[in-house]
Amino acid sequence: AQKITQTQPGMFVQEKEAVTLDCTYDTSDPSYGLFWYKQPSSGEMIFLIYQGSYDQQNATEGRYSLNFQKARKSANLVISASQLGDSAMYFCAMREGRDGGFKTIFGAGTRLFVKA
């Protein structure tokens, strides 16, 4: 079964507008973390934002915010005021505990295209 599901293979957004990238997850671990990474065409993975399962407030980092809906197991990324440089692949990931350690699982990604 998919642990991380990103249902949008591709998304288009007009420059300066906001966009939401969807992510749902599946875990029975009460303690987990959710991440979003950006991967430009150059290939490196860039950390954007983190949300812990016990965090009461939604995480925010500049133009990025994470819409965390725990009951729905949803962790959508919201990018406000999109810029041309935001065009990239975006990956949702979950860290969950196992055997005393942690493992991070990535979704399949969403490719975002920002239009001028």
Partner 1 sequence: EAEVAQSPRYKITEKSQAVAFWCDPISGHATLYWYRQILGQGPELLVQFQDESVVDDSQLPKDRFSAERLKGVDSTLKIQPAELGDSAMYLCASSFDSYEQYFGPGTRLTVT
Residues that bind partner 1 (CB under 8 A): 4, 33, 35, 37, 42-47, 50, 91, 93, 95, 101-109
Return the number of the residue (9 or 71) whose C-beta is nearest partner 1. Answer: 9
Return the number of the residue (30 or 43) whose C-beta is nearest partner 1. Answer: 43
Return the number of the residue (6 or 82) whose C-beta is nearest partner 1. Answer: 6
CB 12 within 8 A of CB 115: yes
- Phi, psi (degrees; rounded to nearest 5) at 38: -110, 135
N-term to C-term CA, the chain:
38
- Phi, psi (degrees; rounded to nearest 5) at 85: -70, -5
Q: Report in angstroms how near the CB of residue 53 gets to partner 1 at its nearest.
A: 13
